[in-house]
Amino acid sequence: MEIWIGFFTNFLGVVLGIILTFGVTALWQRRKEKIATKEMLILVRNELEQNKAILQYHEQTIRKHGDVYKKILERKNDLTSIPTDTLKEYHTQISGIYLADLTTSAWQIFYNSDMIQKMTNRELIIRLANCYSAMKVWMDSLNKDYWSVLRKMMTLELDDSYILFDSIVKNNEYLTFISTYSDEGVWIAFSQIDAMIEYTIKILDKHGDYQYDMEEKDNEFAAFISEKTSKTKN
């Protein structure tokens, strides 16, 4: 009898040891995954911050570019009324414009990793996906409209500034481009993207590690967007 008691005691000890070992290992693995996810989200958050700065620079640059074209178009019937030096300065300013591409490497790594599959905060993932999607739409629009026109303009290197800008103002493609990016609606849309990035950063800072109610936050988000947009209008 004592032999069987000893056997079952040892057996129970081994089983409990195995269970405890696997339990501790699983807890440790989950902890490692949580740390890795948090570190990855920090990289995504910093990437969003960087993209926000890039987009704001895009806005400043394109607005400045648009102002130049407006001044030229105001005199399109008499370009000779604009001093030669001024036209040359405009051409130098426009041809020197460079808009950096947005970065998405951190998001792509996170999106294609196992971490995103194990993350319980699905609302945050949706918010991040929407944010990056909005940024892509903006950048695609720039590449299609802004850059295609600007690159063509930069190939025009006529010595006579009057002939150069006369050819520009008579080109419907340029005029359409100028009209599009002079429309305040474009910048309202941009301010919404800018606000979306800022709000997503706030969510990452506050809710990156745990669940939050997206429906409740959507009301707050809508108010945040409205405030940012109204500032743009004013």
Task: Assign 83 to helix, strand or coil.
Answer: coil
Of 2-11, 107-116, 163-172, which gets the smallest average pLDDT? 2-11
Whole-angstrom Cα Rg for the chain: 28
Q: How confident is the model at residue 2 (pLDDT cuts 50, 70, 90)?
A: low
218 token code pair:
């959507």
Express each pLDDT in 107-153 by its tens digit: 999 889 888 877 777 788 888 898 999 898 888 887 777 777 777 66
| Prediction pTM value | 0.72
Give me the number of domains the chain comprises.
1
Closest CA to 61 of 104, 103, 102, 100: 100
- Please state the rounded mean pLDDT for residues 194-220: 77
Query: 225 lies in which domain range?
Result: 2-233
Q: Residue 150 is inside which H or E element, if any?
A: helix 148-154
